[in-house]
A and B are shown apart, each in its own frame.
Chain A
Amino acid sequence: MTMIKAKHQRLVLILIALAALVGAVLLAAWALRNQASYFYLPSDMAAHPSSPDREVRLGGMVERGSMHNEADGVTVRFVVTDGKARVPVRFSGIRPALFVEGSGVVAEGKSSPDGTFLADNLLAKHDERYVPRELKDMTAQQARQAVAATK
């Protein structure tokens, strides 16, 4: 191994740092395009179903009267709606305490080929102060429809 020339050492270090920086940015950009989990409203989901191998978030209101427990005691099925479209969801696990019919919910998981959304995790906050950031931008119109639909 040769010693780096004094005059070049700084340049070499800068170039290494730049290469690492650019490399990290490019890699991150590439990975984020594939791995970031996108947020869907039920109507988005109906228009452009997400691919089954991709983790996404689905947010909306739990439709009243749609919640059904399965026989195993830990699986629940319900319908998430935004007033325009309805997406059936299946979730196995311990439900968050504030998860009730008519509440807002964000389900994390994947679509299955039969159109049911398989959730690994539920984030439920019924109160508008805790509206998931993503749901915040539902326009007032959309929100009214959603609430009306869950009546």
Chain B
Amino acid sequence: MLAELGLAALWLAAALAGLQLIAGALALVSFNKGVGDGGTLAGIVRPVAVVQGLLAACALIALMGLFAQTDLSVKLVVENSHSAKPMIYKLAGTWGNHEGSMLLWVTVMGLAGGFVALVERRLPEPTMLATLAGQAFVSLGFYGFLLIASNPFARMSPVPAEGQGLNPLLQDPGLAFHPPTLYLGYVGLSIAFSFAIGALVTREVGPAFARAMRPWVLGAWVFLTLGITAGSYWAYYDLGWGGWWFWDPVENASLMPWLAATALLHSCGVLAARNALRAWTIMLGVIAFSMSMIGTFLVRSGILTSVHAFAVDPRRGSFILMLLAINIGSALVLFALRAGTVTEGERFAVTSREGALVFNNVMLSSILGIVLIGTLYPLVTEAFGQKVSVGPPYFNPMASLFFVPMVLVLMVGPLLRWRRDKLIRVRSLLLPGLVIGLAAAGLALWLGVKGLPYIGLVLAPAIAVASLMPLKGRNLRRLPLPVAGMVIAHFGVAVALFGMACDSAFSTEKLIAAHVGEVVAVGPWHVTLAGVEPVAGANWTALEAQLRVRYQDGDVFAMTPQARSFWAPQQNTTVSALHTRWNGQLYTVLGEQADGGRWQLRLWWKPFVPMIWLGGALIGLGGALALLGRLLADLKRIVVRDKIAYRRMRQGR
């Protein structure tokens, strides 16, 4: 029953999305002809958008209910759940699969669209209609995909005795919440995309448009930042290779939308404050959403091989590609036709806040290009019969080439005035950063660091100091939240960069076959192999190394890395053990038994490596603060507007 209800809600939602698109488009035409205000058709678009979102949410809740009861007459539940699973993983199983994740996507998109329809009153009505129609257009593709190609509510007969989804590897809090975090980011970008389409259709590209779009971009960006940070830590912890970023296609797929969203965020600020970079911001809005779809496509189609195991299905890949081609292709055609006629933005000098932000945008876009080209290059050569793989030797120097100038400008940009400024004016604010940078340069040289880590070690302290300079001379209590957010996020960049540079420059690694009782020195640590014991879990057995570790002359801690064998599906994994101190992390992995009763151990001492993720979290926090600040301001404005309307109404009476 619940399955039928869910399916009905989904069909209704799809029908309403169609209505939303048609009504919006027709109302827009009548607006353009100048006949009236679009009439009834314009009036229904907003309510339809709200109801569409609610119906999609009903469908998602129905599916979650089916998973919660483990209704084995539903195919999706059989394939992805099991009655013996803990409830939290049953619910997470709802979106842990392809169909469910698409439903989650379309639901969040519908709810977000409904929310926009309810509260957004800044934009001129035609732009709003075009935005909602655009959103309905994108949603319709997903509804079609769900209803035609991958119905999540499909029944199964005969009803099997038990579900198949007891894969222990997937019962991991990281896996349960990591994909939805990224998805929320993607959906935020889809709303930004709809705004861009709406503005392009009516040529109303201005500060109001940027202010309406900005919270969505900020929200999406915060989720993407947190998703990437968590994903990186998960790979670091889980793969047991000691690395935290592999430039793997799956990782690149999440990085590319982030890069585009970062650029969009900054150009959005210029458009909101200064009414410049108009066509440019539209273009970035389209690119950011394209990148999230391209990322989803690359991950789900299995067209590129990855170290991360992922359920792939080439047929679904072609469906996503079709959606991608329709959505992005039509947006780009619209852009090509319209962007030339969008009127010119305000002017600015090269040395100005705008100038610095343009530089930031160009550099970010270049990094995006570098990553995209590197990710797709194996496909290009394969078309010519040559097999290659592209890894860190390409990505690291190429990305740095654009990253370094970008962060140099980051040190100056926030200090500059809008429109035009002189570097001389801010020289006293730049001085501390320069001094610290030079000191770090000397220190790192003395420590014998070379190459990219050297650049990182010089830049990180300099950026850290420079990022705090916009606070100088301000009353910290009355600091606007968006400014605080910017400072924290920029400081987070410095923290993360410091962690990355320290990891490359100062990590020490020891690979050894040790006897029980042997003491191994790695960096400042002494690691004693006290023994290796067999242990067992629900569906795995493992060998567990008992390690006693001591930092210099400090206390002794126990660490227990494992080499695990799973039964079903049969699979061997290493479970690393980590010990975190304020100044770094000890990372231990147990290998196989070697000749002579020895055990293979791989040990790393990684100074300051947790700062990578701490920095990521700070960047996310900065974004969240900025978002909060913008939302509070919007709320205040809405309250004031309502008050004025109320007074007018009373006076009118």
- Chain A residues with a Cβ under 8 A of chain B: 1-7, 9-10, 13, 16-17, 20-21, 23-25, 27-29, 31-32, 35-39, 55, 57, 69, 71-74, 92-95, 97-98, 132-134, 137
Contacts and interface: CB of A to CB of B under 8 A. Distances in A.
B349 interface: yes
Contacts, number: 134
A2 B592 contact: no
B600 A74 contact: yes
A2 B511 contact: no
Contact of B366 (A2, A20, A39, A132): A20
Given A31-B398, A73-B512, A36 B595 contact: no
A55 B393 contact: yes
Contacts of A4: 347-350
Nearest to B590: A94
B402 interface: yes
21 contacts: A9-B344, A13-B277, A16-B362, A17-B365, A20-B362, A20-B363, A21-B369, A23-B366, A31-B397, A32-B373, A32-B377, A37-B388, A37-B390, A73-B512, A73-B594, A73-B598, A73-B600, A92-B511, A94-B602, A95-B591, A95-B592
Given A13-B358, A35-B393, 19 more contacts: A3-B347, A5-B347, A10-B279, A17-B365, A25-B373, A27-B370, A28-B369, A29-B373, A31-B394, A31-B398, A32-B394, A57-B389, A69-B594, A73-B513, A73-B600, A94-B589, A94-B592, A95-B591, A97-B565
Contacts of B596: 73
Nearest to A57: B389
A1 B350 contact: yes
B345 interface: yes
Nearest to B390: A36
Given A2-B349, A55-B393, A21 B388 contact: no
Interface in B80-126: none
Interface residues of B, number: 55
A27 B398 contact: yes
A10 B344 contact: yes
B164 interface: no
B418 interface: no
B280 interface: yes
Contacts of B594: 69, 73-74
B390 A32 contact: yes
A3 B393 contact: no
Contacts of B318: none
B401 interface: yes
B351 interface: yes
B305 interface: yes
B313 to A, nearest CB: 14
Contact of A74 (B388, B513, B573): B513
Most chain-A Cβ atoms within 10 A of its Cβ — which of B393, B571, B572, B602? Answer: B393
Contacts of B602: 93-94
A97 to B, nearest CB: 3
Interface in B384-414: 386-391, 393-394, 397-398, 401-402
Contacts of B347: 3-6, 9
Contact of A37 (B279, B391, B592): B391
A36 B389 contact: yes
B504 interface: no
Given A24-B369, A28-B374, A28-B398, A74 B344 contact: no
A98 B596 CA distance: 22
Nearest to A38: B388
B344 A36 contact: no
Contacts of A95: 591-592
A73 to B, nearest CB: 2
B239 to A, nearest CB: 11
A15 B591 CA distance: 55
A98 B366 contact: no
Contacts of B595: 69, 71, 73
Nearest to A2: B349
A103 to B, nearest CB: 13
Contacts of A6: 344, 347
B580 interface: no
Contacts of A17: 280, 362, 365
Contacts of B351: 1
Nearest to A134: B387
A94 B344 contact: no
Contacts of A13: 277, 280, 358
A47 B279 CA distance: 54
Contact of B365 (A21, A31, A73, A92): A21
Contact of A36 (B277, B394, B512, B598): B394
Contact of A24 (B366, B394, B592): B366
B323 to A, nearest CB: 25
B151 interface: no
Contacts of B349: 1-4
Contacts of A134: 387
A39 B377 contact: no
Given A16-B358, A25-B369, A37-B391, A72 B589 contact: no
Given A13-B358, A17-B365, A35-B394, A74 B511 contact: yes
A9 B345 contact: yes
A100 to B, nearest CB: 11
A32 B374 contact: yes
Complex A-B, nearest 5 residue pairs according to Cβ-Cβ distance, in ascending order? A73-B513, A97-B572, A73-B594, A94-B591, A39-B387
